[in-house]
Amino acid sequence: MSKLLVVIDYQTDFVSGALGFEQARNLESPLFERVQTALACGWKVLFTRDTHCSDYLNSREGKFLPVPHCLKDSEGWHLYGKLTQFEQTANPNIAFLDKPTFGSADLGQAVQTLCGGAPEEIEVCGVVTNICVISNAIVLHSTFLDSSIAVNGSLCAAPNPDDHENALRLLAGMGYPIL
């Protein structure tokens, strides 16, 4: 059985671009180090990328969050900082999932393809804790009922620290270990 690190939406637009925030900037080195450690220990790593088209503002999400961001192939769509290295290197233990909204219905299939089935252990981290991180943690739990799924709270962030803490409390209340 495999182990999987899922890095949610650590993209330029969420760090220094259209929806950027300071707490996300502070995650660059620790996230980079966590990915390197996971790969060195034989884990698989799946990066999600929030991915929108030019008609984003007409979508349900665009009406809720009316800030164009993560437009496919734009600078803001790519992983941020040191993590761009993982986009530029072919590695069979790394995969990417481009998702059109907060939680991805395709996440389970992407995980199974990368891991060759259900992983034994899943660790989730990234941004934004109270939106995309929580949404995808729930998708993972719904898909992999027998996998251990933890959220690395120290490697997650939200623009509002209270929203971050509330999301972690909610996840803990749903049985997710918070690392």
How do the domains of the chain map onto residue ranges? 3-173
Please report the pLDDT score of residue 1 as a whole number: 66
pTM for the full model? 0.94
Please report the pLDDT score of residue 176 as a whole number: 96
Amino acid occupying residue 152: N
What count of residues does the chain have?
A: 179
Please report the pLDDT score of residue 138 as a whole number: 96
Q: Give the CATH number of domain 3-173.
A: 3.40.50.850
Please report the pLDDT score of residue 172 as a whole number: 97
Q: Can you list the residues of the chain whose pLDDT is less than 50? A: none
